[in-house]
Amino acid sequence: MSNSEFILKYGCNPQQKPAKIYTNNDSLPFKILNGTPGYINFMDAFNSWQLVKELKQITGLPAAASFKHVSPAGAAVGLPLSDALKKSYFVEGMDLSPVAAAYVRARGADRMSSFGDWAAISDIVDLQTANILSKSVSDGIIAPGYTDEALEVLKKKKKGSYCIIEMDWNYEPESIEKREIYGVTFEQKRNDVLANEDMLTNIVTNNKDLPENAKRDLLISMAVLKYTQSNSVCFVLDGQVIGVGAGQQSRVHCTRLAASKADIWYLRQHPAVAKLSFKDGVSQPNKDNLIDQFLRDDITPLEMKDWADILNEVPERLTAEEKAEWLSNLKGVSLGSDAFFPFRDNIDRAAKSGVKYIVQPGGSVRDDIVIEACNEYDMVMSCSGIRLFHH
């Protein structure tokens, strides 16, 4: 095997053999430091790498992503965490570097979906980040480098089989990209557009007050959408994704999915969740699963039968009124959409989950109806003119 190709065990499924990745250049732009990444691992790795690299370029902050099946479950930049978030993300008492904080935030967006994720980090992975990953169910990581201490920790993960890729930061692919579907080759210019504040200047609503933190969050949403399977909608707050609706055929279903995830993200910070007392030895995934069940409306007694084995005391669940009261405090959320909103129902649903700022391409024949809906909620909406479909 040369430096320009890597033979894979199989493709997307075990029956898809032979399989390999290769380049027509002299060498591939990465090194495998540990493990044996597979076809899907590499797809997640390269998509997630592009995302975190762009987030770093856009914000100047360390960035991280948690990828599953070629879409981000979460993404974030390295801002400090509140005490409530630390408790919600199970990192109380930990000293978090900006790089570690970025990954904790990225994984915290949707902890259920991040189970068995592929991690991407824009900066050198330090020991604090490696320690977080060592306790997480994760398949692999891509980053521009690792400290010796971090690499030592990560190489022990998954009984020594954890996939670790070192990516060349300076690598830039050719401007024309190709792919083959059913024996037919597709060719297009690579989507190299980088989200920037000029895309936020066409504010079409009556309210034109767009603060700096909202600009940052809207740009983050656009970068995330660029690497999320379409249709897609992304909710962002305080430098991190809090809900993604990916791969839905209807845009309102994207919005509903992203909003429901944002609601769960916020409800995880409710005092009733913080008071849940787990028995010693309960694994992190089991804690995440129980919290998800605790917050669901459709939970059945059969699903609750093991709660007494996991919790020191089984609590009363939150009522619909208690949830609504808590969610009424979720405000200032930014929303990005990869294509225009065809109807106002997206705006109505977004408003229920605290959305205040929106960026979308615009161009619908019903733009006026969507703008009117935003005005009714006193939202700020910018039409970027940039569609971000990803397939």
* Residues 263, 296 contacting (CB under 8 angstroms): no
Residues designated catalytic: 68-69, 231, 391
Judging by DSSP bridges, how do beta strands 30-34 and 163-167 pair with one another?
Answer: antiparallel
Q: Residue 333 carries which side chain, given as an amino acid letter?
A: V
Q: How far apart are CA 222 and CA 233, in angstroms?
A: 9
- Is the bond into 271 cis (omega within 30 degrees of 0)? no
Length in residues, the chain: 391
50 is written with which tokens?
A: 């592009």
User: How far is Cα 82 from Cα 268, in angstroms, rounded to an integer?
Assistant: 13
* Conformation bin of residue 246: beta by default, left when phi > 0, alpha when psi is -120 to 50: beta
Rounded Cα distance between 343 and 328, Å, is: 24
Rounded Cα gap, residues 236 and 262, in angstroms: 9
Alpha helices (runs of H) in the chain, residue ranges in sequence order:
39-59, 83-88, 98-108, 127-134, 148-154, 212-226, 251-267, 271-274, 284-295, 307-310, 320-327, 345-351, 367-376
Q: How far apart are CA 314 and CA 71, in angstroms?
A: 35
Query: What letter does residue 149 receive in the DSSP assignment?
Result: H
- Integer Cα distance of 47 and 39 in angstroms: 13
